[in-house]
Each structure stands twice: as C-alpha cells, then as structure tokens.
Amino acid sequence: MPFGSKDKAYNNSRSMAYLTAEQALADYAVLLTDLKRNLSSESSPVVLFGGSYGGMLAAWMRLKYPHIAVGALASSAPILQFEDIVPDTIFYDLVSNDFKRESLSCFQTIKDSWKELDEQGNGQDGLLKLSKTFHLCQTLNTTGALSDWLSSAYSYLAMVDYPMPSEFLMPLPANPIKEVCRNIDKQPEGSSILERIYAGVNIYYNYTGTVDCFDLDDDPHGMGGWDWQACTEMVMPMSSSEGLSMFLPDEFDYALYADDCVKNFGVRPRPRWISTEFGGHNISSVLEKFGSNIIFFNGLLDPWSGGGVLKNISESVVAIVAPLGAHHIDLRPATKEDPDWLVSLRESELEIISGWLSDHYGARGGALFQRATNKDSAAS
C-alpha cells in the first residue's frame, strides 16, 4: 500500500491519481522484473492471471508488455464495456435475464417493486415505513438510496450466481438467485410486493442471519477505489431498458455522471481514454493483429460477460464461454461440488497455458542451442 496506509493513499486526489490501470501495469512490470532478478530466474516465463478488473489488467498487460509475460488468462474481463462498443443496456439486461430464467413471477415482482417503493415512499410517513419494512439502521432520506441498495444486490447476485456455496462478496448458498426468487415467490398469499422483495434481498445481505439492521452507507466490498477509477478512466456507460430489464428504465447521462465525479472527487472523467490507450472500437483487430496467448473466459450468467470477448479472435487469442458460469468462476478454488463443465473448462485452460510454456521453452531452447553453436565456431 503506497503512501504508508490505505487511509493516507485514499485521502486525496494527489495520491489517488496513482490509482490507474497504466500505473498498475507498470507496477507489475517492475515487480515481475525485480522479482525474477532477485530469484535468479530471469529466464522463467510468467503467465498473468486476473479476474474482473484484474482480468482487464491481465489482457492489457499481455498487449502492452509481451516481453514481460508469455500469456494471460483474462477471466470475466469486460474490456468492451466502454463508450458505445457494446449496447449500454446489456449489463442490466443480463442481470434481469438471470432472474427471469429462475422465475418469471420473481422477475415481475422485482420489476413492479420500483413503482410500489416510490408510492410508499411518497405517502404519509412513507420513508419511515420503508425503513422499517427493510430493517434499515437509519431512517431513509430518499427512496433512491433504497432502490440503489436493492439494485446493487441484484447485480451482485448475478455476478456470484455460482452453482456451489461461496463467500466471494457475501456468504451465499449455491445458486443464490434461485434462492432469492424462491423466497420472493414463496411468501404467503396476500404478502405485499415489498415484503416479498425484503424476503428476497435478505438472502443476499443476511444469509448468515446475524444482521440486526442494514446500513445502506456501508461499503462492504471496498468500492471506494473503484468509484475513483470509474470517475477517471473506467467510465462504463450503463442504462436500463424499458423492455428487457427488471430495473427502472434509466438512460446513462454522461453530463450528470461527470458532474458527480467533480463533486465527489474533484476530477472530470476521460471517457475515451481507455480505448485510446488499449484499443477498443476495433478491438478484435487489435487482438488479432497484435495480441497472442490470451484466454478470455466468460460465464454467461455474469452480467459483465456483456462487455467481454466471447468469440475466438485468432489461434492464440481464444474465448472460453461457460453458459452456466458466473463472474470468474474458473478462478475460484476447486470444490467437490464443481460441475463437470467447470472441471473440464479449467482443464482446457491449463492445456492452453501449457502450450504457451512449451512454445516458450521450445523457442528459447532453440536460441540457447544457436548461441552455443556460435560460441563453438568462434572458438574453433
């Protein structure tokens, strides 16, 4: 942690300014080079592994520092989720699909809940009532804060919709969306929409059952750093569509977004920087012509797969797609409950990576041989 502590590093924009993808890649480059020198293993090949933002870094690092690493496994890396490269509604549409596939009534209850929430919030003592229904620690100032809290839960649930119990963002059962929807659907007849919704999100925010009340301002996933990055270079436009989504229709408003960044961090974003630095609009051609040895893994349940590379680009830039996988499930620890498709796709990844290493040692072996030969002829 630079600047002595996390508190100090995150204290102001002068130190936060170092929190960029480019700086991260440069740090990795120096770390790997120094580490290999210190370990006297300068000729050892390095393979990059990363999931989510880390997956973007892995792919970008292979593009920018091919001399440092022989290949990259970029898991659930939404490198296309910038500008207008993919439709800006795709993320929330995918989240919505995950709920719809489990239960149409669950999907519909969530879709109907926003209006209900708004009406109840605007009624007599509405915010107080809502705060009680949802067991909030503090009374709401706006319904918006509650909507955001609910939306976040749905999005995170879609990301971690794994077929086995997990504790990535929160302790959760296997197939958590199925559980959430079961809870929403199974409430006794006559239950209100919002009672159902509460029963649903309770699975996400309180699966262990130990939470007395919910604090909406809590930042359990430590997203402060990401918020800064989203306000500088990682501008990912996201809207929700009227038709396909269960979320409130909402169009991404860049001007408003940028003003919020100025207000919160004193910076104005550079929404086009990422595609300038790493390529974007023609990313297939960048990856095809200039990239090699990259695996893009995506699980189609993961809403981030909408901004991912889902098709093979070339012989050595390949896409592995798991229709039933969620956010970087391939990089999670192996468990006994792992379904066959997961075991088998991990094997495919290992096989591809082994190929990179063979290529590397093959090529290097050749060079060593040549050098030895030259030496001999110089001596003779």
Residue 352, interface with its own copies (CB under 8 A)?
A: no
Which of 139, 285 has the CB closer to its own copies? Answer: 285
Instruction: Please give the DSSP secondary-structure letter assigned to residue 125.
Output: T
When asked if residue 26 is in the footprint of its own copies (CB under 8 A), the reply is yes
Q: Is 67 in the site for its own copies (CB under 8 A)?
A: yes
Selected binder of its own copies within 19, 56, 68, 110 (CB under 8 A): 68
Among 3, 9, 10, 29, binds its own copies (CB under 8 A): 29
Q: How far, rounded to the nearest angstrom, does the alpha carbon of residue 206 sit from its chain's CA centroid?
A: 22
Min. distance of Cβ 29 from its own copies in angstroms?
5
Residue in 290, 347, 369, 374 binding its own copies, rule: CB under 8 A: 290
CB 226 within 8 A of CB 52: no
- Cβ atoms < 10 Å from Cβ of 294: 27
Give the nearer residue to its own copies in terms of CB position, either 36 or 101: 36
Find the binding residues for its own copies in span 230-289 (CB under 8 A).
272-273, 276-277, 279, 282, 285-286, 289
- How many whole angstroms separate alpha carbon 360 and alpha carbon 357? 5
DSSP one-letter code for 311? S
CA 23/CA 97 separation, integer angstroms: 36
114-124 burial string, b = 16+ CB within 10 Å, else e?
beebbebbeee
> Closest distance between its own copies and the C-beta of residue 319, in Å?
20
Q: Which residues contact 336 (CB under 8 A, 6 or more apart)?
A: none
Cβ neighbours, 10 Å, residue 367: 9
Count of residues engaged in binding its own copies, rule: CB under 8 A:
22
User: Considering the complex, what minimum distance in angstroms separates the CB of residue 311 from its own copies?
Assistant: 15
Q: Which residue number, 62 or 327, has a Cβ lying nearer to its own copies? A: 62
Residue with Cβ nearer its own copies (31 or 104): 31
Q: Does 82 bind its own copies (CB under 8 A)?
A: no
The pair of three-digit structure tokens given for residue 3, joined into one six-digit string: 């600047």
Nearer to its own copies, 29 or 145 (CB): 29
The catalytic residues are 52, 302, 327
Q: Which is nearer to its own copies, 23 or 138 (CB)?
A: 23
Rounded-to-10 torsion of CA 40, 43, 45, 48: 60
Which of 266, 250, 269, 274 shows the shortest CA–CA distance to 258? 269
Stretch that binds its own copies, among 66-74, 147-155, 177-185, 261-269 (CB under 8 A): 66-74
Strand ordering across the sheet containing 317-322: 47-51, 71-75, 294-299, 317-322
- Which residues are near its own copies by CB under 8 A? 22, 26, 29-30, 33, 64-68, 272-273, 276-277, 279, 282, 285-286, 289-290, 292, 367
